[in-house]
Structure 1
Amino acid sequence: MSSADPSPGDRGAGTNQSVERAVSVLRSLDSGRAELRVSDVAELTGLGSSTASRLLSTLERLDLVERNPVSNLYRLSLGTLSLATTAVNRHPVHWASRTVLQDLAARTGLGANVAVRRDDVLMFLCNFEGARAPKSYTQAGHTAPLHATGIGKCLLAGLSPEERRKLLGEPLESHTEFTTVSHDLLDEEITTVHRTGYAVEAEERALGRASLAAPVRDASGDIVAAVSLWGPTSVLGGGAGAETRSALTREVIEAADRIGQALGAA
């Protein structure tokens, strides 16, 4: 995209483009850095500096963006919070799973979360941490790779091998030495999900952590979400006792079934 501002004629024909640019500015402020300069926003969005500055000023007036009074740098405003909260709370999967996951985390002492697929990533809708769960920075709205997580593999189980290859491309990104990076191996793991009703992941996304996950199906039988229990590999990894692992597997499958029932599954 050119760094030059559009001409007046371009602006007249680009109402939708203006909306797209404003959204790109908002998303740039969710890029992982706490605060940004106008030049940072321009670089991340590909917009000209004057366009980025004008859009930031407009979004500031609308209470979607604010400037730190000390640093004078831009960040998302709390005005975005009500919109985000409404979107999450009104999502049927969040509504059906919140109490189930809260109870699951308290009962097992582990982390419990639910996610849905958003194109080629998963998005968490809520996360609860039990006493034995490592500190997590997972929040509603955070995304994670599908192929490197148990919860993601459950979501991928709703697609054919051909659809998965088209969606994820090649090569699959490696996050640790244990990440599944082969589509053929991923196919085998997802076949196991179909056969057993759950997925296992050990240190594929982060060292020292493992998870058990199960798909959530709606009334039509389609996979619309997935649930996972996550925690230390000593509890959920291959070294965990068979009895403990079996009990936790039942817990996560039953939680997924309860959420599916709340969504109208038979």
Structure 2
Amino acid sequence: MAGGAQDDRSVAERVFAIADAFERGDELTLSEIARRARLPVSTTHRLLAEWVSWGGLVRGDDGRYRVGIKLWRLGVRQPTARRLRDAAMPYLQDLLEATGEHVHLAVRDGLGAVYLERLSGPGAVRVISDVGSRLPLHATGVGLVLLAYAPDGTLTDLLAERPRKFQPNTLTREKELRARLASIRATGVSQSVEELTQGAFSVAAPVRDATGDVVAAVSIIAHADRAAEPQFAFGVRMAARGISAALGSDFE
């Protein structure tokens, strides 16, 4: 450990410390993981190799690590995630049939939006999201909705990570992000054009549970030239309301 201090943690605790390092960030370097896990770089590198070999983490071409599909699949097997997907599926299928575009269901994981489901029509616009994808909150429709209703301090943590500007329309500054989040809370819907993917338009709405907390977001991603069509916002609102009701919510 840094400073030569003795680390009395068990091997299992050190392995779990690697997993805990990803709580606030979606892609981390070796040194960032070592610092968050409070482990020597050499130990971190060895444990990361085991995580990658198992499939719990993935190492990108740039050397950064992110959560792998195997670890994500373990999470979605939990009853809460299963119940959410089961409750949402009829409404997601209705949206797909009505629009022929991409339909998403996502939940917040730290500073990322994890996609639990994606349904797509044959002519849908090309996107990078897929089931198990973890994309940044500030650059996605579902992510902005989840960020708007996230606990105090989440936006501060996101800004501290220096959010990436993927497209000219991506919001990265505190003032513009706060204004967008306030608008989402006021209207109950997020609409964005070409903020993550060129040529794509997104509209998203929050899903609430029986306590009224926002636990997920549902969205449609369509071709940008369809952004003015009113049925998208209406459809996603109705789907979010239906999923929320299926979860026991009576909040508007």
CA contact (8 A) 1:214 1:256 kept: yes
2:224 aligned with 1:233? yes
Return the TM-score normalized by structure 2.
0.73
Contact kept, 8 Å, 1:132 with 1:231, in 2: the verdict is: no
The letter of the residue matching 2:12 is N
Residue number in structure 1 paired with 2:187: 196
Deviation of the 1:167 alpha carbon: 2.6
CA 1:53–1:204 in structure 2 vs 1: closer, same or farther (change >3 Å)?
closer
Match for residue 52 of structure 1?
46
Which residue of structure 1 lines up, in the alignment, with residue 87 of structure 2?
Answer: 96
Match of 1:252 among 232, 236, 240: 236
Pairwise CA distance, 1:188: 1.6
- Give the conservation status (yes or no) of the 8 Å contact 2:141–2:191: yes
Query: Is 2:225 the counterpart of 1:212?
Result: no
SS at match of 1:191: helix
SS in 2 for 1:226: strand
Alpha-carbon separation, structure 2, partners of 1:98 and 1:153: 22
2:65 corresponds in structure 1 to: none
- Find the counterpart in structure 2 of residue 146 from structure 1: 137
- 1:166 deviates by 2.1
Output the amino acid matched with 2:117.
Answer: C
Measured on the aligned residues, the alpha-carbon RMSD in Å equals 4.0
The answer to whether the 8 A contact 2:125-2:199 is kept is no
Question: Structure 2: which amino acid aligns with 1:203?
Answer: E
Match of 1:263 among 244, 247, 252: 247
Instruction: Report how far residue 198 of structure 1 moved.
Output: 0.7
CA contact (8 A) 2:15 2:47 kept: no
Count of aligned positions: 231
Larger Rg over CA atoms: 1
Native 8 Å contact 1:198 1:249 kept in 2:
yes
Q: Per-residue CA shift, 1:59-108, capped at 9, x if unaligned? A: 97xxx46xxxxxxxxxxx99879746624885332221123212211221
Match of residue 174 from structure 2? 183
1:109–1:131: 8 Å Cα contact kept in structure 2?
yes
2:12 paired residue number = 16
Q: Is the 8 A contact 1:126 1:140 kept in 2?
A: yes
Counterpart AA for 1:247: Q
Further displaced range: 125-134 or 208-217: 125-134
Q: Find the counterpart in structure 2 of residue 38 from structure 1.
A: none
Q: Deviation per CA, 1:211-250: give whole Å up to 9, x if none.
A: 01111111222111111100210112xxx3xxxx221111
CA distance in 2, matches of 1:105, 1:112: 6
Unaligned runs of 5+ in 1: 3-8, 25-29, 32-40, 66-76
Counterpart for residue 37 of structure 1: none
Measured after TM superposition, the shift of residue 135 of structure 1 is 3.5
Call closer, same or farther: CA 1:53–1:92 in 2, change over 3 Å.
Answer: closer
Aligned to 1:70: none
